[in-house]
Each structure stands twice: as C-alpha cells, then as structure tokens.
Structure 1
Amino acid sequence: MRLLSLVLALLLSANLAGCANTKYNANKLPKGVAVNKSITLPVDVSVAYYVPQSKLDSRFYLDNWKVWVEPGAALNDGVRDAFNAYFSNVAMLDRASDKQYGLLVDIDPEWEFASGKAIMTMSYRIFNGSETPVREGKKTFKADIGYVGDNSGMYNAAMRATQLVIVDLLNSLKPDNQMYPATLAMKDTNPLILANLEKPVSSGTGFYINNSGQLLTAAHVLRECMVTKVQAGDKSFNATVDASSTLLDLAVVSTNEATERFLPLRKGSEVFLGETVTNVGYPLQGLLAASPNLTRGNVSSLNALKGSVGQFQFSAPIQPGSSGGPVVSEGGELLGVTVATLNAAKLIESGALPQNVNFALDARYVAKFLDKHQIQYRQVEPNLKGDIRTSNDAALSSVVQMLCYQ
C-alpha cells in the first residue's frame, strides 16, 4: 500500500516535472548550513550506518513514461556519498562483518512527492560503541524531481537530508577516536535497537513441525529481516533461525515456546496426483485481517517449473504472505511447503490467463533438510480416510504468522 501511494503521488508530481537535474556535490553543504570550524574534515571516527533494506530496494515502473523510477537506488547513493564526504572510515552496516565501529547511525527514511518536489524526511538515532543512544532527531530536504526517468532529483533530496543529519552529529557530538573508539563489531550489533518494531515490512506464514516450538517456513520470508517475530493467536514470540537453505527455499526457526499441536509428515512422503489439499496462510498483511486464510484445491502436477528442485504444483489459491504455509492432506499430514506462485501478470501480457498455479516444496525434501540439520519431526502412516475436518483442524492448529521487521 505504501508503494502504491508513492507511485500515485509521483504520477501527480511528474506532470510538473521538466528537465533533468544536476546532482549536487556531496562535499558542499546547503546554503546556511555549516560544520563547526573546530572539526577537521574528514573525521576519522569509525562510523557504521543502517538503512532498512526495503527502502533501498524500492523501485517501480511508470508505464506512461516507459521508465523505471528507483527511489531506493537514489537513497543508497545519496546516503553513501554524504557519509563518504565527511568521514574517512565509514561503511553501511553488515551484520556478517567483523569490522568495528565507534558510532552507529540508524536512519529511517520516508519519501513524499508533491508539486514537482522530491521530499526526503530522515528520522535518525545515533548510538556509540556500547549501543547507548547519544543523539536523535529528524531532518527534511526538498529537491526538484526533474525528469521522472532521472534519479538526480531524488538523489539530491536524499543526499542533502543525509548531510543535515551528519552536520547535526558533528556539531552536537564533536566526535573523535578517543571519545568514540571502535569497539563493537558490526556482526554483534543488537538488531532490536535498529528495527522498527511498530510496523513490519513484510509477512509470511510458518507452522509448527515439533512440540518444542520449532517452525518451518520459506527461507525467502526471512530474507533481509532485522528481527523476525512469530504471531500465534494473541501471543507474540521472537524467532531465531536454526537452519536455512536458499536452494530449497526452506528455513527452521525457534521460538523456545513448546506447543501441543504440530504437523507430522506422511511416512514415505508420497504425494498422490489429484488428491485434495488444504493450504493455510496469512496473505496480504496490512490489507486483510490478521487471521489465517484457508483455501482448498488439489495436487495438479507432481512437477513444477523447469529447473525447480523437488516441487509439485497445487491449485489451492494463495496470495502474497502465504509463502511458508503448509500444504496439508485430507488425513492431516504435511505434503509440502508453499514457496511460489506463477507470475500471472507476465503471462497475461503474452495473452495467457493462468489460474491458481502454485508450487510447494515436496515433503520428501523437507525430511531430508530436517535430517541434515538434526531437527526433530514426526512421521505417520498415510491416513487415506481423512476428510475436510481432519485436514482443516491439522492445518489451522499448527499455523502462525511470520512478521519481518527492518
């Protein structure tokens, strides 16, 4: 919904947009803004900065103009250039890195587009190497959008807003290496101090696989999450990743909360062509109510797209947010994990109109993955006398919503 609002606002603004802009020089500050003369530039304090990945990935296509608009790329370049101009030792936060820092700048950016202007507002918090907050604030800068296919206007707004943040940091903290020594490795940063826990950036579905509270979900549901939470009814738990496979698009997370209900795998993991299945998920987070969505269909093919690994096709309808949900047999056994759907929009352009072409990772591969990582699970003999009530009860009692925060 946020992206849709952004597109609509830009479309209105684009009617007023004219020639391409010239990018501002990151080494020059806006008129009336200055760094205290006692500060020698570039400052040699080790600095890390964090920007939510969802904001850096933001892009959309304007069909009327036949151009891609990339606020994320403009934001990334503007923030990077501003920090590099004023610090000699600076890097974007990498949670896999051993690199240490003395100051961490947490940036929460928001775009607005109005009257031919790109408006960047940056809320920010600054932490020292002990993760103690030392400064916070909000800065805004407006720049002409210019030609909608040129990111220069958005770059200028993002870079200038970042400069204003940096100037406030320098003038208020007057940092040096003695005051802010590089002591904390990026990989040791507490994600809870950075993530905006008031608003998830995406959601998915998971389900209990054993009684110790471990959950299965699709690996892509957890991608780029700073913090992942599990919402089970009115209870919320922090989740930690125990095992993950990009190839299989599968992950196991722990909640450390025991459960009585979980989904067993069918012994032998055989899937029968045409058998009825139930799928449960939490689709369209922020649009639909936060309750499980149950759909039914059948196994329509024992294979999936060319090149896919261990997937079958099923017809129970799914929507964004259903990824990671279980595909359950009439007997209440796990047959697969929802991982993808066919891109209908692309096929419609070619004249085809596909319906309910969805894909699940076969439980045989789930079992191999769980065995490899020594994850406990249960197998049961096929219950071929089950019905809709058995299937629905098994699926609904085990499923949870996965919430991704950045």
Structure 2
Amino acid sequence: MRILALLIVFVALSGCEATRVNNVNSIKTKAKLNNTLSLPINADVAFHVDRSVPEDKVNFIGQLESAAELVTQEMFSSSKKLDSDVKFDYLIKLKATSDWDIVWGGWDSDFTIQIFSADGELIFDKASIAKASGSGGVYDFNAVFNSFAKETKTALIDFVNANETLLLNPTMVSAQSKPVKYFFKDAEPAMSGTGFFINNKGVAVTAAHVIDECIFYETQEKGVKREVELIAQSNLLDLAVLKVKGIDSASVTILEEPNVTLGKQVFTTGFPLSGILSEYPSMTMGNISSLGGLKGAKGFFQFSAPIQPGNSGGAILDYKGNLVGVVSSSLNQSIMLKKSGTVAQNVNFGVDVELLKKFLTKQGVTYNQGQSETAFEQSSANAVESTIQLLCYK
C-alpha cells in the first residue's frame, strides 16, 4: 500500500509542472533596485557556470546556465557566455552544488556568485541556498530553472545597488587587462586533445572540437605549459590553427601533391586517456581503409590505427613521415551496438590533408612543405617531437 500511495503522489505531482519564467520582471524577489537605477545597466558582462559537480551531487549546470543567460541579458546592455575571446567590464561566475530528494522531488542547491572587475579584482561574493519544492514532481526542471533565476536576479540587484556609483560612471571601469586564465587560477582541465606543429614558428593544427567551448586552453609538453592563441577555426571542417607562444618547434612535412591511397600504411601520435596513460605521446599503426568519411563524406577518410579519447587533433602520417590527415573522430560504439547489435573495431576518421592545405591557404597560414624520405624509426621520432598535448578548460 505504501508503494501504491507513493506512486499516486508521484503521478499527481508530475502533472503540476511549474511554469518557466521568461523575463526578468516575472521573477519574483524581495530585492529591489535603487530608485536612481534603471535596467538595462550600461555594462558589458560575461558569465560562466562552474561545470565541476561532485559524484554524489546532481548536475543542474544546464538550468543554471540558461537562468544566468536570461537574467544577465535583460539586466545589462551586453551579456555573453564566457569564452577565450569575450571582452567584458565584469565577469560573473556562478556555481550550484545540488541535492535531490528522489522520493518527493524537492531539491536544494548551495548557490554562489562571484563578480570580478575587468582588471581581476573580486568585487562581489555571495552565497545562498536555492530551493524548490516537490510540487512539480521529480522531472520538474522548470522549478529548478526558476529558482536559479530568482537567486541570480537577487544577487545581481544586490551587486548593482552596492556599486551604483561605479555603474553610473562607465569611465571609471578599468579596461580588461588580465587574460581569461587569470580568473581561473585553480582550474583543472576538463578535457585534453592532441595537436601537431606544421612549421618551425610554433604554429600548430588540431581538431576544432578539441578547443570548442573552452574558456581558455594551453599546451603541455614534457611538463611545460604554454599559452596558446587561436589563429583560425572551422567547426564544419573540424580544423583549428593555433600559435603556441615562446617555442621554436619541430614540424611535420606536407607533400606538395599528397598521395592518400586505399590501403596506405599510416601511424598517428597523440595523448590518449590523459591522466590514465603516460604523459608522453603514444603511437599506433594501421592503414587507410576507406577514401570517404562517415556516410561517404568528402574530404575525410577512414583509417584503422587504434585511437582513444585524447587522440583527436593528432597527425596521421605515412611511414616516411609525410602528413596524410588529422585525427577527427571514431565511430560511436554505443550507437553501433544499439542499431546493429555489434561493435565495429578501429573505425576512425581523419580530415584529408588536401582539405587541410586548402584551409591553411585560405587562412594565409604557412606550413612546412616538402617530402620526407626518412626511415620509419626516424619519421616516428620526428612525429613525436612535433606532437603537443592541448588542455581545454571549461
């Protein structure tokens, strides 16, 4: 009977989903804006939601991010999600560590918000508890969103009221003088990938998805970390070009007329499974198994050298050390198992070097063109020297 009663309550509650707020005025809060102020406040802000969630806590990052976007875009003249290129007067950092009552659907979050000036000074710091009752049922994420929106609005009104003089005099705001990395001194990389140098001036290529949505990124070579500047990126081609600061690099060789043929023996170097395997590049070997990408996509090819998470963006080379392509992706094993009842081993895809050359030429990027005739042992050693690990911070 107890289980039946709980099920009845659950069904009843599930039908009472909260209505999602869609503007700042509909967010009810006791905090009131000073009479001398009006929205939107004339300031450029960037917001960032901490993505780290302890294993025993609930992940509400998406709801918090959406709530922050709604509130900040209406409260300030300009608001953007933080990335490596965004400029701002103020940086708003938010975090929620949440617990969920799976029986009744209620939840609460330790909610924190910090606001930094453009020159790196912490000027506002507030902690509160965001709560929602079980009235919407276990899956009522609208209630979660509304609660985050309320806490965000309350905190930002407190911030604006406390800094009225500064906000009414935009000329007093310091210009952004600190790199994004400065605001995340204790951050750990969220993911890693691989890149490789294409000339001896520190210019490297990687897969675009390795650096996509990173707030900043850096290289790590033999324990040394270096700053990175983005030169060009194409998510469509899954290619990105980076400039690694403070290094004279070895590089791979790109043939004037590449010869990518079916069955060609190739190898790739990279940093798979970062934190589990070695901090030094590993190498795997295989061959080109199809001259088309997923579903025959042009400009990509299929190869069989084993790769793991962390290999993306690495160089694919022939046994003489000439570049053949860039590691892009692997066939999703879980989808294959679901659709066909089997898994496909070593079905990986690379961006064809011809497509890379066209991209580099269009972007005005120079690369080491020539022809390598070295023996395999030497070409693999050269490839290792040209390979870098990329760390992405989110």
Unaligned residue ranges in structure 1 (runs of 5+): 1-14, 59-68
How far residue 268 of structure 1 moved from its aligned partner, in angstroms, is 1.9
* Aligned-residue identity in percent: 27
- Which residue does 2:28 correspond to in 1? 28
1:354 to 339, 344, 361: 344
SS in structure 2 at match of 1:51 = strand
How far residue 159 of structure 1 moved from its aligned partner, in angstroms, is 1.7
Amino acid at match of 1:361: V
| Greater fraction of residues in helix | 2
- The 3 A distance-change label for structure 1 pair 196 and 114 is farther
In 1, are the aligned partners of 2:99 and 2:108 still within 8 Å (CA)? yes
Amino acid at match of 1:272: T
- Which residue does 2:380 correspond to in 1? 392
How far residue 110 of structure 1 moved from its aligned partner, in angstroms, is 3.4
Asked if 1:92 corresponds to 2:80, the answer is yes
In 2, are the aligned partners of 1:191 and 1:227 still within 8 Å (CA)? yes
What do the CA deviations read for 1:340-382 (whole angstroms, capped 9, x no partner)? 2222222211124211111111122222322333323223435
SS in structure 2 at match of 1:354 = coil
In 2, are the aligned partners of 1:231 and 1:403 still within 8 Å (CA)? yes
Distance 1:119 1:179 in 2: 38
TM-score calculated relative to the size of structure 1: 0.77
How far residue 399 of structure 1 moved from its aligned partner, in angstroms, is 0.9
- Which residue does 1:202 correspond to in 2? 191
- The 3 A distance-change label for structure 1 pair 122 and 401 is farther
- Once the two structures are superposed, the pairs formed by residues 4-403 of structure 1 within 5 Å of their partners are 18-19=13-14, 20-23=16-19, 26-29=26-29, 34-35=31-32, 38-39=34-35, 42-52=38-48, 55=51, 71-83=60-72, 87=75, 89=77, 91-93=79-81, 103-116=89-102, 117-128=106-117, 132-144=121-133, 146-174=136-164, 177-180=167-170, 190-195=179-184, 198-288=187-277, 290-306=279-295, 308-351=297-340, 352-381=342-371, 383=373, 386-387=375-376, 389-403=377-391
RMSD: 3.7
In 1, are the aligned partners of 2:269 and 2:383 still within 8 Å (CA)? yes
How far residue 148 of structure 1 moved from its aligned partner, in angstroms, is 4.0
Distance 1:48 1:196 in 2: 23
In 2, are the aligned partners of 1:53 and 1:224 still within 8 Å (CA)? no
In 2, are the aligned partners of 1:244 and 1:252 still within 8 Å (CA)? yes
In 2, are the aligned partners of 1:119 and 1:140 still within 8 Å (CA)? yes
- Which residue does 1:7 correspond to in 2? none
Number of corresponding residues: 371
- The 3 A distance-change label for structure 1 pair 254 and 90 is closer
Out of 197-206 and 396-405, give the one that drifted further. Answer: 197-206
How far residue 42 of structure 1 moved from its aligned partner, in angstroms, is 4.2
Distance 2:69 2:357 in 1: 44
What do the CA deviations read for 1:240-261 (whole angstroms, capped 9, x no partner)? 1122233322121111333352
In 2, are the aligned partners of 1:341 and 1:357 still within 8 Å (CA)? yes
SS in structure 2 at match of 1:397 = helix
Distance 1:50 1:284 in 2: 32
How far residue 138 of structure 1 moved from its aligned partner, in angstroms, is 3.5
TM-score calculated relative to the size of structure 2: 0.79
Out of 358-367 and 156-165, give the one that drifted further. Answer: 156-165
In 2, are the aligned partners of 1:43 and 1:176 still within 8 Å (CA)? no
